[in-house]
Amino acid sequence: MHAPVSDSEATPTGASGPLAPLQRVISMLNSIIVVLAAIALIAACVILSYSVAGRALFKAANYWQDEAAVFLLVGATFMTAAYVQEHRGHVSIEAFVGLMSPLANKIRLWLVDVASFLFCAFFTWKSWTLTHEAWEDGQVSNSMWSPPLAIPYALMAAGMTLLCLQLLLQIVAPLTGARR
Amino acid sequence: MSVFGIGIAYGAATLFAMFAGMPIAFALGAVAVVFMAIYMPSASLDTVTQNVYEEMASITLLSIPLFILKGAAIGRSRAGQDLYSALHAWLHRVPGGLGVANVFACALFAAMAGSSPATCSAIGSAGIPEMRKRGYSGGFAAGIIAAGGTLGILLPPSITMILFAIAAEKSLGRLFLAGIGPGLLLVTLFGVYAVVRFRQEYAQAKAVYEKSGTWSDILIKDEYTMAQRFSVLPRVIPFVLLLTGVMVALYGGLATPSETAGLGGILALALIALIYGVWRPTDLAPIMRATLRESTMLMLIIGMSLLYSYVMSYLHISQSVAEYIVAMHLPRWELLFAILLMVVVLGFFLPPVSIILMTAPIILPPLRAANFDIIWFGVVMTIVMEMGLIHPPVGLNIFVIRNVAPDIPLREVIWGTLPFVLLMMAAVLLLCFVPQISTALPDLVMGPDLSR
Amino acid sequence: ATTLKISHQFPGGTIDKGDFRDRLCRMFAEEVSKRSGGEIAAEIYPNSSLIKTVAQFSAMRKGALDISLYPMPYAGGEVPETNIGLMPGLVTTYDQGLRWKNEPVGKALSDFLADKGIILLTWVWQAGGVASRSRPLVTPDDAKGMKVRGGSREMDMVLQTAGASVLSVPSNEIYTAMQTGACDAGLTSSTSLISFRLEEVAKALTSGAKASYWFMLEPLMMSKATFDKLPKNQQDVLLAVGAELEAFGRKGAQDDDIEVAKVYEKAGAKVAELDLETVNKWRDIARDTAWKDYGGKSANCAKLLKLASDVAA
Ligand code: NA
Ligand code: NA
């Protein structure tokens, strides 16, 4: 499996060398997003608990809480995808590491990154078209609260875009002489 | 190409992408999209993102991050260590007592959570480091948690059982009750195994120590006086509070199942803030980072596995396998064996939810015709799907372990979970010979099931 | 030969046994294949095993899915006009619902959907009722203080005006929520009241067998993109078979209305039936809340609502 994901916030594995400034920007962006996502997670907990309390104490209706929690959690999930990739936290199976020479391994990992990038790029593209459609048609979630669907779609699309950028940096890094 | 050929190609491509080292989430998605582009109408490609979004935008599924948060809050603060020291103080005379304690902890949490990875993560983040600190081998510690975590879908409530009950048009209450006996059976088997394995590792470490003087922490013999044992008891109070708080909310009719996920998260954060003083942003940062990393990794795999199973479904692969088995007109037990074997194979690639959705409609009619008790079968199928959670290549619980304890090599994790897979097989076998393990409780509570 | 993919969200069975909506799809597939001389084949994907429940509509519009038996109001987020398919009190009997097809509202709705890329093959209406864990929920007055899962935006509005506190629970959690008491009552179709097994946790059932304020349009729909690609004679076969199955759909739904009462009675629940007078009380609330809300959404909504309320009960 991939490099350890430890607590100590070690070694982000992005670009260094000429692309270092760009990686720094993305890393900074990722750190900000992580804070926001953490807040979103706690907010989701608070909202769900509030819905329990509101019903028990004031017989309040619960018609937006579940959905709001879903939006927060979907947003937190997709927006932090790049952060997880920065730390190589998307698990994979590393069965052949021992069977190949270091150079062959390097090439393999590079190709893996390229393949991942291609898939994510496709997904990103389709997320934006979905967002665009939802925005144009004014699609809303079919509930009493009826928030626009373009919001969670846009979060998904933005998160995937960041993930693509991160992957791209990790692809370019070895070409510019940086260590993976 | 025939469905058979496409099926083989699909499986091979998946194995190739995964073993090449592609992250599981992207491998599943990429293979799905490539096959979609080749074999499906081009309009399908436009539906990819909406499908993934709809799969993920369910509050039932999204309670997984919240359960992970709850687990991380406890596991990554001193709260978790305190619980384990307390359990250890009481169970230290039992060889492997800490391992047994972990199995119990998994079972308890499983009774609150409907999903297996959530259970695995909640207990694992505290349990694995504690066991390893006391000298348990990495594989052993990982195996206990990975396997114990699978109880999440066997002990009620369970997401997959809900889906099965709907597909089978069977009583959910009955199915839930039917899972309890086998759940306890597995808890016992895992517990006994923990004791046996501990003795083995202990004996080995002792032999090594006597021969070469190399010390292992597993040899530490803790002694606790009765007073000491009681003095650690208050440390368990936070957990009792947390557990009862969530239970009261759920069974007292205050919260819906998904709301309890949020409530549990808040209660856990409140507890560590009040009792351990963990509330400053700097204290919370590692907890939140760990939660996000784990839940994002897991949710992306789940989302992409939907895409994967969608293509598999469209190309009629799993349905064809199921239909092929049905068409063989096998005798009763051979039919069951063939169907379970198929579930095992699908379990290599798919999480339990997808397996049920795709195969239940096709395999249930012949099982009914062969006069199998469908409730009983639902339980057996659940155990077989639990095995899929702890064996590669796609084993959600293994991925959770990878995140909780990244320094245990994958090889050790897999070898560590293997004995538990065998124990589960034994449990399935036992259930075939003594179905009452599962059916006695529902029959007792709800009366015999007349609607076969 | 053409192979059509038929998807739906309901439990799968066989052509003579199981959920009538699944059976309807299977009968459609068989009959279409027979009449087209094997030119058209169809594969059934139950349980949302092909496409996720809500997304089926948009998949049909894009041509990624051919046919679905789809609860029309599920598309309400994407195409708000479709919410007419579950407007509380707008349809109160099967006769009234099935009359839509040949009245101006049917034409208007079909044209509107065709414009959105959807063809209606078989009109299926389904009545619904209420399962409650303690006291029965029959009249609007009963709703006061109850925690109710309405299941749709419009129903929630009506319930809230009647004094209930509405609750959003995913359908697979209704059982647990009712068991624990987080939810006092749930509204859904008779068939779902059976398949969700709520009788195990319910003490009372309000049946819509005679009349109901809860009627959902759940037609067999087809992607216009796929439909337009077929030769005329095959299109005719699809439309003809679809129309012929309407009788089966009605019978299936009504059988379930009777069956649900039996199931709940057997489980020891108290069964009450809605009558037109009670239904009208709900209708009065709905007219001022849900209908108004819907009619204000767009000119199309207003027009459909007007035409639909012209259909005599
Ligand atoms: Na559980
Ligand atoms: Na697996």
CA distance B443 to chain A (A): 34
What pLDDT digit, counting tens, does each position of C4-40 carry? 999 998 888 889 988 899 999 999 999 999 999 999 9
Fill in the amino acid letter for B88. Answer: H
CB nearest to A76's CB, from B58, B292, B407: B292
C-alpha to C-alpha distance for C191 and C214, rounded to whole angstroms = 13
> How big is chain A, counted in residues?
180
Query: Above 60 in pLDDT, residue B268?
Result: yes
**To the nearest whole number, what is the mean pLDDT of chain C?**
93
Predicted pLDDT of residue A6 = 37
A171 band by pLDDT with thresholds 50, 70 and 90:
very high
Tell me the CA distances in angstroms from C103 to C96, C107, C108, C114, C212, one per residue in order.
Answer: 10, 7, 9, 17, 21
A16/B contact by beta carbon, under 8 A: no
B374 band by pLDDT with thresholds 50, 70 and 90:
very high
What pLDDT digit, counting tens, does each position of A96-123 carry? 767 788 898 889 999 999 999 999 999 9
What pLDDT digit, counting tens, does each position of B281-330 carry? 999 999 999 899 888 988 898 888 878 888 888 888 877 877 888 788 88
Predicted pLDDT of residue B367 = 87
A95 band by pLDDT with thresholds 50, 70 and 90:
low
Q: Between B433 and B406, where is the model more confident?
A: B433
Q: Between A73 and B153, where is the model more confident?
A: A73
CB contact under 8 A, B59 and A70: yes
A118/B contact by beta carbon, under 8 A: yes
CA distance B198 to chain C (A): 39
Q: Between A21 and B80, where is the model more confident?
A: A21
Nearest partner of B129 among B91, B81, B78, judged by Cα: B81
The dihedral through the CA atoms of A161, A166, A170, A173 has a sign that is positive
CB nearest to C168's CB, from A59, A66, A146: A66
- Percentage of chain C surpassing pLDDT 90? 79
Query: Above 70 in pLDDT, residue A167?
Result: yes
CB contact under 8 A, C166 and A62: yes
CB nearest to C55's CB, from B51, B252, B358: B51
A5 band by pLDDT with thresholds 50, 70 and 90:
very low
A47/B contact by beta carbon, under 8 A: yes
pLDDT (average), residues A2-16: 43
Predicted pLDDT of residue A3 = 32
Single pTM value for the model? 0.85
- In sequence order, which ranges of B252-392 are alpha helices (DSSP H)? 257-276, 281-314, 317-327, 332-347, 352-369, 374-389
CB nearest to C77's CB, from A61, A63, A149: A149
Dig out the tokens for A164 from the structure: 């693509």
For B406, the 3-state DSSP assignment is coil
Partners of A81 on chain B (C-beta within 8 Å) are 296, 300
pLDDT (average), residues B157-182: 83
Structural domains in chain A (count): 1
**β pairing state of C125-132 and C67-69:** unpaired
pLDDT (average), residues C282-297: 96
Contact A160, A2 (CB under 8 A): no
- Listed by number, the residues of chain A in 57-116 with a beta carbon closer than 8 Å to a beta carbon of chain B are 66, 69-70, 73-74, 76-77, 80-81, 83-84, 87, 89-97, 108-109, 111-112, 115-116
**Could you tell me the residue range of the domain that residue A110 belongs to?**
18-175
B295/A contact by beta carbon, under 8 A: yes
CB atoms within 10 A of CB B344: 17
CB contact under 8 A, B47 and C59: yes
- In sequence order, which ranges of B169-256 are alpha helices (DSSP H)? 172-212, 226-232, 237-251
CB contact under 8 A, A146 and C77: yes
B451 band by pLDDT with thresholds 50, 70 and 90:
low
CB nearest to A130's CB, from B50, B57, B288: B50
Which DSSP string do the residues of B141-191 spell out, in sequence order?
Answer: HHHHHHHHHHGGGTSSS-HHHHHHHHHHT--HHHHHHHHHHHHHHHHHHHH
C-alpha to C-alpha distance for C165 and B80, rounded to whole angstroms = 39
C-alpha to C-alpha distance for B202 and A72, rounded to whole angstroms = 48
- Closest ligand, as measured to the CA of B343: 2
What pLDDT digit, counting tens, does each position of B237-246 carry? 877 788 788 8
CB contact under 8 A, A62 and C83: no
Most confident among B166-180, B264-278, C165-179, C254-268 (mean pLDDT): C254-268
C71 band by pLDDT with thresholds 50, 70 and 90:
very high
CB atoms within 10 A of CB A120: 27
What pLDDT digit, counting tens, does each position of B61-93 carry? 788 888 889 878 887 777 777 877 787 788 777
- Listed by number, the residues of chain B in 396-435 with a beta carbon closer than 8 Å to a beta carbon of chain A are 399, 402-403, 406-407, 410
Residue A53: inside a domain: yes
CB contact under 8 A, A93 and B18: yes
Distance in Å, CA B305 to ligand 2 centroid: 12
Partners of B272 on chain A (C-beta within 8 Å) are none
Residue A75: inside a domain: yes
Contact residues for B301 (Cβ-Cβ < 8 A; gap 6+): A91, B24, B25, B28, B394, B396, B399
Residue A5: inside a domain: no
- Closest ligand, as measured to the CA of B14: 2
What pLDDT digit, counting tens, does each position of C42-52 carry? 999 888 778 88
CB contact under 8 A, A41 and B48: no
C145/B contact by beta carbon, under 8 A: no
CA distance A84 to chain B (A): 6
Partners of B43 on chain A (C-beta within 8 Å) are none
Q: Between B112 and C237, where is the model more confident?
A: C237
Residue with tokens 């063989």: B328
**To the nearest whole number, what is the mean pLDDT of chain B?**
85
Residue A1: inside a domain: no
Chain A interface, mutation test: which of C148, C161, C168, most A Cβ atoms within 10 Å? Answer: C168
Residue A9: inside a domain: no
CB contact under 8 A, A112 and B297: no
Residue with tokens 């509405």: C166
Residue A137: inside a domain: yes
A67/C contact by beta carbon, under 8 A: yes
Query: Above 50 in pLDDT, residue A1?
Result: no
Q: What is the DSSP letter of B135?
A: T
Partners of A139 on chain C (C-beta within 8 Å) are 77-78
Chains linked to B by 3 or more Cβ pairs within 8 Å: A, C
- Closest ligand, as measured to the CA of B106: 1
Residue A80: inside a domain: yes
C-alpha to C-alpha distance for B250 and A32, rounded to whole angstroms = 35
3-state helix, strand, coil in chain C (%, to 5): 50, 15, 30
CB nearest to B22's CB, from A47, A80, A112: A112
Residue with tokens 């949302």: C48
- Listed by number, the residues of chain C in 35-74 with a beta carbon closer than 8 Å to a beta carbon of chain B are 43, 45-55, 58-59, 62-65
C-alpha to C-alpha distance for C221 and B81, rounded to whole angstroms = 58
Partners of C179 on chain B (C-beta within 8 Å) are 173
A41/B contact by beta carbon, under 8 A: yes
C-alpha to C-alpha distance for B286 and B306, rounded to whole angstroms = 30
For C167, the 3-state DSSP assignment is strand
Q: Between B414 and C91, where is the model more confident?
A: C91
Query: Above 50 in pLDDT, residue A2?
Result: no
Query: Above 90 in pLDDT, residue B133?
Result: no
Partners of C82 on chain A (C-beta within 8 Å) are none
Q: Is B135 left (phi over 0), alpha (psi -120 to 50) or beta?
A: left
CB contact under 8 A, C152 and A63: no
C-alpha to C-alpha distance for C293 and B408, rounded to whole angstroms = 58
Partners of B273 on chain A (C-beta within 8 Å) are none
- Closest ligand, as measured to the CA of B347: 2
C-alpha to C-alpha distance for B120 and C86, rounded to whole angstroms = 42
Which chain A residue shows the shortest CA-CA distance from B266? A45
C-alpha to C-alpha distance for B337 and B317, rounded to whole angstroms = 20
**To the nearest whole number, what is the mean pLDDT of chain A?**
85
Predicted pLDDT of residue A10 = 40
pLDDT (average), residues C220-232: 96
What pLDDT digit, counting tens, does each position of B205-232 carry? 888 888 888 877 777 777 778 888 888 8
Predicted pLDDT of residue A8 = 37
Predicted pLDDT of residue A17 = 67
Predicted pLDDT of residue C273 = 95
CB contact under 8 A, B265 and A45: yes
Q: Between C233 and B355, where is the model more confident?
A: C233
Partners of C75 on chain A (C-beta within 8 Å) are 142
Phi and psi (nearest 5°) for B92?
Answer: -65, -20
Contact residues for A148 (Cβ-Cβ < 8 A; gap 6+): A134, A135, A138, A139, A140, A141
pLDDT (average), residues A129-150: 89
C-alpha to C-alpha distance for B419 and B408, rounded to whole angstroms = 17
CB nearest to A142's CB, from C74, C157, C166: C74
| Alpha carbons within 13 A on the beta-carbon side of B176 | 20
Which chain B residue shows the shortest CA-CA distance from A50? B263
